Amino acid sequence: MAIDWFPLWLSLKGASVSTAIAIAVGLWIAWTLANRGFRGKEVLDAAITLPLVLPPTVLGYYLLVAFGRASPLGKIYEWAVGQPLVFTWQAAVVAALFHATPLLIKSARAAFESVDHSFERAARNLGASELRLFWRVTLPLTRRSILAASALAFARALGDFGITLMIAGNIPGRTQTASIAILNHVESLDYAAAHRLSATLLAICLLLLLSVYSVNRRLRAAIALA
């Protein structure tokens, strides 16, 4: 029987969108946590860490409550978009986002905290704005770590199961991701289909990690020659 590749395509789509959002939002949060002191910093850090330790079904349940059609957020989303969020592919993106962003923020924060701040002080003394300093000094110094963190976030988003099942559901051809499809194949004793899909996910994640290692190796070689 021919395998249905829609779940894999949906997983790749959701992981790509969620990782892009995670990078845009997560880098700013990570930089703020690494470089700024403010009231409630520990609370924010704990809230970011929470999805890493909570069971995915617990997080998925509270997201379902938060974005359900009867909730304020759910009503605002439905008013703005014209359809509810839950049990759509966009809900799968939200699930992947909450699954991957904390990992990216944690890794990026560690990278920002490891930067030699003398370079940043020198840039400030030369009149660089904070935004220019970030793009021209901080980000280049941490690009290898940020690249690795982004790849790990993508892989984590690609494999989300519990959160996605709770808020996006298991609707074939609409919200069924690769991880959920694998479970369905196993439950129906279609081990061949489960193996093909699992092997494909394994190959994608392995190639992604190897690509990151290759890029980092080339960057180290370029820096050594500079």
Of 81, 146, 67, 72, the closest CA to residue 108 belongs to 146
Write out the two tokens for 171.
């609707």
Q: Give the pLDDT means over successive 10-residue stretches in the chain (226 positions).
A: 82 94 93 88 92 90 91 92 92 92 92 83 79 83 87 90 92 92 92 91 90 74 60
Q: For residue 86, what pLDDT is reported?
A: 92
Q: For residue 132, what pLDDT is reported?
A: 82
Q: For residue 99, what pLDDT is reported?
A: 87
Q: For residue 135, what pLDDT is reported?
A: 83
Q: For residue 198, what pLDDT is reported?
A: 92
Write out the two tokens for 182.
């694998």
The one-letter amino acid code at 104 reads L
Q: For residue 202, what pLDDT is reported?
A: 92
Residues 9, 14, 20, 26, CA torsion sign: negative
Q: For residue 219, what pLDDT is reported?
A: 63
8 Å CB contact between 28 and 110: no
Q: For residue 59, what pLDDT is reported?
A: 92
The one-letter amino acid code at 119 reads F
pTM (2 decimals)?
A: 0.86
The one-letter amino acid code at 24 reads A
SS3 179: helix
